[in-house]
Amino acid sequence: MKSLEELAKIREEAIKKVDIRREREGTRIVVGMATCGIAAGARPVLMALLEEVKVRNLKDVLVNQTGCIGVCRLEPIVEVYKPGEEKVTYVNMTPEKAKEMVAQHIVNGKVIDPYTIGAIE
């Protein structure tokens, strides 16, 4: 160890791997991962979300899975909880849509209406 910068670099790298254990109060992205969700392809969606959040280094965003959300025919379903805003439910998600959603909704704050449950129903 030769300098504070060297230590900081190691820390930056290492934090990415343990970040999940910190408490946070930011946005929650929840993927329905019951039997219906998994069968409809929720797993690749979840992984795409995780990857996108990591790549963009979004520190206060938590990606998590949940059980059956209830509208199994519209799975994979992704719900976004932003503090102080109403919950947004995205349906028929794909990994591509998921990445787009992170960019548009999470980062830029614009809900992609065509993907939401309101547009489909």
| Rg of the chain on CA atoms, in Å | 16
What token pair was written down for 5? 């910068």
Q: How far is the CB of 114 from another protein (least distance, A)?
A: 26
Q: How far is the CB of 89 from another protein (least distance, A)?
A: 16
CB closer to another protein out of 22 and 110: 22
Q: Smallest Cα–Cα separation from 64: which of 52, 46, 41, 81? A: 46
**Closer of 62 and 72 to another protein (Cβ):** 62
Using CB under 8 A, list all residues that contact another protein. Answer: 1-4, 7, 10-11, 13-18, 20-21, 23, 31-35, 38, 46-47, 50-51, 54, 62-67
Q: Least distance to another protein from the beta carbon of 87, Å?
A: 16
Beta strands in the chain, from DSSP E residues, in sequence order: 27-32, 61-66, 78-81, 88-90
Closer CB to another protein, residue 34 or residue 71? 34
In this structure, are residues 91 and 77 in contact, taking their beta carbons and an 8 Å threshold?
yes
Structure tokens at 48: 């795409």
